[in-house]
Amino acid sequence: MVGIMLKVVSVAVFVTMSTLIKAAGVGMPAGQIVFFRSAFAIFPILIFLALRGQLGTAWRTNNPLSHVRRGLVGVTAMALSFYGIMRLPLPDAIAIGYAMPLLAVVFAALFLGETVRIFRWSAVAVGLGGVLIISWPRLTLFGDGFGSNEAQGALAVLASAALGATAMILVRKLVLTERTPTIVLYFSLTATVLSLVSLPFGWIMPDWQTLMLMALAGFCGGLGQILLTQSYRHADVSTVAPFEYTSIVLGILLGYFIFGDVPTWSMLIGTTIVIGAGLFVILREHALGLERRAQRKLVTPQG
């Protein structure tokens, strides 16, 4: 229950972050939004590590280039995600982003050699079909096709989901040699530095209100990462993962009351399909995990 509670709170914090960015980031380049998100996320992370006595050891790494590579992929995914959020209704951006865990299954099979059988392949295909149902009306909106703002936003979120899935694969490799605090800390640092590359491309000088909102969004990003990490310490990933989908409920509520976004039928139908497919993948992973643990017990010699 503690793990589930932490997961739900982390989801609420991340949705709050996206809402703040959508509200305050109008006219702001995506690279500048990434800078605020990453730079101010460092503060709660440093406080958390200091309280746990891990601030000194968190800097130690044997694989700095892997952190840079993960940061480069992650910061690009983040920039595309924020670009999409600024051009789509909040619930649609959240729902299209659900393609990421489905694509991670595909990439794990292609790049990590993980065995994916017909059940999960079928779920991935159905889930991506749901993403297409959500996205398609945006891609053909008002006859402008791919040139409309919402079409560009949908494509950006889809690309962000693909890069986010790639980042998940890179993190799976990193956890073999690096600790979680090190991975989280170095990602925030590399994302902050890499986002500065976009500085010559038209950053704006925000007013104080915008600056405070963006700083709060970044703080929420760091806090959400801490809560998410802690949730995995109290419960299995397969137990807390389904609660990621509470974000769509929060997104619909905040989108309606703050931005006046009314969910469409295609968005609701597509989201239901994606969530169903995602839950199937999660439950299948849980069942396979139980099978693997049972097999290890059978082959482990008993003293």
For 142-200, give the DSSP string.
GG-GGGSHHHHHHHHHHHHHHHHHHHHHHHHHHTTTS-HHHHHHHHHHHHHHHHGGGGG
Per the CB < 8 A criterion, the answer to whether 220 and 23 are in contact is: no
Contacts of 153 (CB under 8 A, 6+ apart): 83, 84, 85, 86, 87, 88, 93, 138
Per the CB < 8 A criterion, the answer to whether 14 and 223 are in contact is: no
For 251-279, give the DSSP string.
HHHHHHHHH-PPPPHHHHHHHHHHHHHHH
- Residue (of 43, 32, 110, 27) closest to 78 by Cα position: 32
C-alpha span between 176 and 57 (Å, rounded): 17
Letter string b/e over residues 194-219, b meaning 16 or more CB atoms within 10 A of that residue's CB: bbeebeeeeeeebeeebeebbbbbbb
Q: Which pair of tokens denotes residue 67?
A: 């952190």
Letter string b/e over residues 1-33, b meaning 16 or more CB atoms within 10 A of that residue's CB: eebeebbbbbbbbbbbbbbbbbbbbeebbbbbb
Element housing 215 (H / E): helix 208-234
C-alpha span between 138 and 296 (Å, rounded): 48
Q: Is the pTM of this model over 0.85?
A: no
Where along the chain do its domains lie? 2-299
Indicate the length of the chain as a whole number: 303
The pLDDT profile of the chain, 303 residues, written as one tens digit per residue, is 788 888 889 889 999 999 999 998 888 898 999 999 999 999 998 998 888 888 888 888 888 888 899 889 989 999 999 999 998 888 888 888 888 888 888 888 887 777 777 877 888 888 888 888 888 776 665 455 555 778 888 899 999 999 988 888 888 788 778 887 888 888 889 999 999 998 988 899 889 999 999 999 999 998 988 888 788 777 766 567 667 788 888 888 888 888 888 888 888 898 888 888 878 877 776 666 656 565 555 444 444
Burial of 133: CB neighbours in 10 Å, binned 0-12, 13-18, 19+: buried
Burial of 248: CB neighbours in 10 Å, binned 0-12, 13-18, 19+: buried
Q: How much is the pLDDT for 16?
A: 94
- Residue (of 77, 81, 85, 79) closest to 107 by Cα position: 77
